[in-house]
Amino acid sequence: MNLIKFFKKNYALQNMKKSKGILAIMLIVIPVITTFCLYAHDSSRYVNPYEIFVAGGANFFGMIIIPFILSNVLFGYVYKRNSIDFINSMPINRKNLYFTNIVVGILYILILQVITFLFASIYIVSVGDSLFSIKLMFDIALAMSLAYAFLYICSTLALTVSGNRFIQLVVLIIVLFTIPFVRMTNLGSFIQNSKSIFLVNDNGIATEHFIDEEHVFAMPLTTFISFVGEDRVLEPKSALLTLGLAVLYTIIGYKLFEKRKMENTGNSFESEKLHLLVKGITLYPVWVVLYQIYDELEIPQLLLIMFVVFVYYFVYDLITIKKIKFKTTCVAFVVTSVVLLLTTMGLTKVGELTNEQKEYYYANEINSMEIRLSELFYGNMSYGEIKDENLNKLILSQITKNDYTRHGYGGSVAVDVSKVDSYVKNYSISVKCNFNNNEDIKISGTIDKDTYIQLLNYVLNDEEYINGLVEEWKISKDAMLEIVDGTSDKVFVGKEAERIKEVINKNLHEHLKEKISQELNSIENGSNYKMDYYDYNYYAVDNIEIYEYEDFEVKNYNVSFDVRSEVAQVIYDELNKAALEISEEYLKDIDGEDEFDYRYETNGRIARFNNDSYVEYANIYDADIRLIKEYIEKVKDIEFDVTKEFYQIDLYSMDCILFVNSIEEFERTIPGVTKDYNDDTYRYSDINTDVNSLNY
């Protein structure tokens, strides 16, 4: 389709002139606010590029609102009879009208992003922020242009079938979110982008791994998801999907616009059935939530919600068609309620069946293994094949060995115990396994220090890889070797040291800051530089992260160092102290005299009751809280030594971690855990443990 042929310059110019006021405001507001936020943000610390949008908020907020406004500025004439008469009687046919406005809209979006980019570039040139490179801002402009343009096309598509702006917004939301919402709520979660698989080793022991799962959504959604936790500015697959959908929606929009009944102004849709259908769809999320929580609601609460939904049926009509048909609305309420309930139940069932299908992979079916080298060293993110069969076996044996032991309450997540060999963290690696059926599965796991050193030596002998790093980092080969083999004690000084300190401070839990900073000061003043830090999830890690932006994402390079035991002791003591404080608060209301009853719910959860009244629902209430309380009472005054073997007890229900050197007291107090712990594994046969067989 030749867009230039359909582009009517005269009409485009007049249409732009007609709307110049609002368009000018749009072109000024976003760049100015974004630039203001860039200047206002703390450039001495690392900022996720998505925070630039949110930091500022203008571009991010604009991504939602501006395309909607733009479609209304350029196409909004269809909502008023006199403007319809004026525009549609002009000597321009609907095809040219539609494509001219589409091009003008996209042109405005591009101008907006170019201005924002130029403003941001001035900031970068004037301030010289190391992370916010021109390239990053360019990529953001590219990503935002695509997201804006896609939303503009979706808004226009919604407009072509809508009789007023409210309905346009409703249709837009339906177009954008219906399929992802169904996938998210009924068929699994897309936020985490991972799924669980089991890797079974030669001894029949299965370890659970979470592998990346492809959930490709169009741009606005991926932008939200990326904001939640990822560092990617532009996901190529998402960008392609967005582009594809944009073309598809443009064509559909054109077809609908060409056939649009212009007399339908002010109402929702020309067809009453379509009106009722769309109204019903708007209630789908309500039904999904209701279906999830109905068993926790009292009958009056349920009736109240249904009444609110019933009233909504009338309010919706008042807003959209400005009249009420009592009988039709009542019938529609009943019919759509039944249909939506059945739909929700059906989709949820499909989701449950899908999620219940456990996927098993067998180690003896692995053809070859590749290690993600960036997990070990700076730079190169690619995978490299390890051709040493013994090393492969060693790595495989470690990633299929599960140190985590779960007690027998049906896949509990309330209490976990894991054995920690040393305060020095195991090394995380990603392994891409190629199976006999040619399927590639990327598995993350940990290896111990000995295996790490073996792997390191193997890689260090790989001339090609080392030369690649030298080229990438523009440093001498010797220096690179010193860095990557971890034998060099590097001293960071000046701005670089300040930046590292900032990174650490940013990630420290508030109450640890003071103690750690004392340690940091001593480190900074010493000639040998050794460093560790905490992240805010309490997990001790032994590296420093350096961020660099390239290829549409912020790459995170780990610099590993040995942890000094003095620092580690302070950290772990503080963690234990915090855990005891948290658990004390959590457990203070637990009355040891209460008798509890447990009931297995059909939705897979366990409810806990006492004889008098309802006490507590929990997602999986698998350990008697009284036992945990008893255990904590016993161990709270026992000193912890980080240099010895120790155990990590995850008290998930209290959201804290306790570290102890001995597990005997735990085994005595909460015996259910020790059964599996003795095997030191999470057995294949235990995966399907039936909750009904549990022995409370």
Partner 1 sequence: MIKITDLNKTFGNKKVLENLNCNIQTGSIYGLIGANGAGKSTLLRIINDVYRKDSGSVLIDGEEVQDNEKLKQRLAFLPDDLYLIQGYTLKDMAKFYEAMYEKFDMKYVEELAGILKLDLNTKLDSFSKGMKRQCALICILATNADYMFFDETFDGLDPVVRNLMKKILAKHMANKNTTIIMTSHNLRELEDICDNLGVLYKGGVLFESDIDTLKTNMFKVQISFKEEFNEEIFKDLNPISYKKVGSVATVIFKDEKEKVEEALKKMNPVILDFLSLTLEEIFIYEMEVIGYEFNQVF
For the bound state, the minimum distance from the C-beta of residue 24 to partner 1, rounded and expressed in Å, comes to 13
616 binds partner 1 (CB under 8 A): no
Candidates 9-17, 235-243, 427-435, 614-622 — which segment interacts with partner 1 by CB under 8 A? 9-17
Rule CB under 8 A: choose which of 80, 255, 325, 675 binds partner 1: 80
Rule CB under 8 A: choose which of 1, 3, 5, 13 binds partner 1: 13
Backbone φ, ψ for residue 372 (5° rounding): -80, 105
Site string for partner 1, 214-253 (x = CB under 8 A): ----------------------------------------
99-102: Cβ within 8 A, 24+ apart: 99/3, 99/6, 99/7, 99/254, 100/6, 100/7, 100/8, 100/11, 100/12, 100/15, 101/12, 101/15, 101/74, 101/75, 101/156, 102/153, 102/156, 102/250, 102/253
2 binds partner 1 (CB under 8 A): no
List of residues 6+ apart from 557 with CB closer than 8 A: 374, 378, 379, 545, 546, 547, 548
For the bound state, the minimum distance from the C-beta of residue 261 to partner 1, rounded and expressed in Å, comes to 7
86 binds partner 1 (CB under 8 A): yes
| DSSP labels, 395-462 | HHHHHT---EEE-TTTT--SEEEEEES-SSPPEEEEEEEEETTS-EEEEEEEE-HHHHHHHHHHHHT-
Give the CB-side neighbour count of residue 358, counting CA atoms within 13 A: 14
DSSP state of 599: E
328 binds partner 1 (CB under 8 A): no
Residue the block writes with tokens 């919402």: 181
For the bound state, the minimum distance from the C-beta of residue 100 to partner 1, rounded and expressed in Å, comes to 12
Candidates 74-82, 184-192, 276-284, 648-656 — which segment interacts with partner 1 by CB under 8 A? 74-82
Rule CB under 8 A: choose which of 27, 54, 84, 570 binds partner 1: 84
Rule CB under 8 A: choose which of 202, 263, 365, 489 binds partner 1: 263
**Radius of gyration of the chain from its Cα atoms, rounded to whole angstroms:** 30
14 binds partner 1 (CB under 8 A): yes
C-alpha span between 586 and 653 (Å, rounded): 9
Q: In what order do the strands lie in the sheet with 656-660?
A: 404-406, 415-420, 646-651, 656-660
327 binds partner 1 (CB under 8 A): no
Closer CB to partner 1, residue 12 or residue 580? 12
Rule CB under 8 A: choose which of 169, 173, 243, 262 binds partner 1: 262
Partnered with residue 198 across adjacent β-strands are 208, 360
Closer CB to partner 1, residue 266 or residue 526? 266
Candidates 43-51, 67-75, 259-267, 335-343 — which segment interacts with partner 1 by CB under 8 A? 259-267
Closer CB to partner 1, residue 6 or residue 529? 6
Candidates 43-51, 76-84, 349-357, 584-592 — which segment interacts with partner 1 by CB under 8 A? 76-84
C-alpha span between 154 and 177 (Å, rounded): 11
Candidates 94-102, 353-361, 580-588, 682-690 — which segment interacts with partner 1 by CB under 8 A? 94-102
Closer CB to partner 1, residue 97 or residue 628? 97
Closer CB to partner 1, residue 160 or residue 653? 160
Rule CB under 8 A: choose which of 1, 25, 90, 303 binds partner 1: 90
| DSSP labels, 221-233 | HHHHHHHHT--BS
Rule CB under 8 A: choose which of 81, 135, 634, 675 binds partner 1: 81
| DSSP labels, 74-139 | HHGGGGSHHHHHHHHTSS--HHHHHHHHHHHHHHHHHHHHHHHHHHHHHHHHHH--SSS-HHHHHH
Rule CB under 8 A: choose which of 5, 259, 325, 495 binds partner 1: 259
556 binds partner 1 (CB under 8 A): no
C-alpha span between 87 and 355 (Å, rounded): 53
Partnered with residue 194 across adjacent β-strands are 212
270 binds partner 1 (CB under 8 A): yes
Question: H or E stretch including 197?
Answer: strand 194-200
Chain residues that interact with partner 1, rule: CB under 8 A? 10-11, 13-14, 18, 21, 80-86, 88-96, 258-259, 261-263, 270
